[in-house]
Amino acid sequence: MRSLALCALLLFATSASADDVRYPATGTPAVTFKVPDGWVAKVMDGKMVVESADVSTVVTIFIEPWSGTPEALAAEALKGEEIAPITSDDRHGISILNTGGDWWKLSPTGPAGKSRPQIFVDVMLGDGKALTALMVSPDDEGPGYHAALHLLDRMAMAH
């Protein structure tokens, strides 16, 4: 029984939030961000995935080698997501990580015919690397949406 309680305590401690997270854990370039209360951050398939407690809002962050244009990066990153091709007209400037980047607001229709707001962000980090982030939320008014935007807005380069 005591070991069960210890396991439960360790599970709770490892999934606790409001912690500073570094992605990737080693190497450069890397970013840091604060995990919103009640959310969980984990690396899956080399990408950082940050999920709300009810998993309705998800932010996926990826740093990858890239030397092409921001539009080509967005098209490449989104091609597996069954999202209509993006255009330069859909692109908006953004200041992220103290540098200029781009964001696109997308509203793809899911299998049930329901639209889920998505925001795709990319920023060229230099040295042939780029950061991409995809945020998916059930609506663009709820607390999960705003917590995810805050996470992206407060992200910083790791030193």
The mean pLDDT of 79-105, rounded to a whole number, is 77
Confirm whether 146 is domain-assigned: yes
**Structural domain range at position 27:** 16-157
pLDDT band for position 110 (cuts 50, 70, 90): low
pLDDT digits (tens, 9 = 90+) for 21-80: 999 999 999 999 999 999 999 999 999 999 999 999 999 999 999 988 877 887 787 776
The stretch 95-122 carries a mean pLDDT of 78
Domain annotation covers residue 58: yes
| 3 belongs to a structural domain | no
Q: Residue 60: inside a domain, yes or no?
A: yes
What is the token pair recorded at 122? 């990319």
**Domain for residue 1, yes or no?**
no
Q: Could you write out the three-class secondary structure of the chain?
A: CHHHHHHHHHHHHHCCCCCEEEECCCCCCCEEEECCCCCEEEEECCEEEEECCCCCCEEEEEEEECCCCHHHHHHHHHHHHCCCCCCHHHEEEEEECCEEEEEEEECCECCCCCECCEEEEEEEEECCEEEEEEEECCCCCCHHHHHHHHHHHHCEECC
- Split into its structural domains, the chain has a count of 1
Give me the CATH number covering residue 144.
Answer: 3.40.1000.10
User: Is residue 113 domain-resident?
Assistant: yes
**Residue 77 resides in a domain:** yes
Arithmetic mean of pLDDT, 2-20: 43
* pLDDT tier for residue 1 given thresholds of 50, 70 and 90: very low
- What pTM value is reported for the model? 0.80
pLDDT per position as a tens digit, 115-152: 677 888 999 998 899 999 999 988 888 899 999 999 99
pLDDT at 115: 67
pLDDT at 77: 76
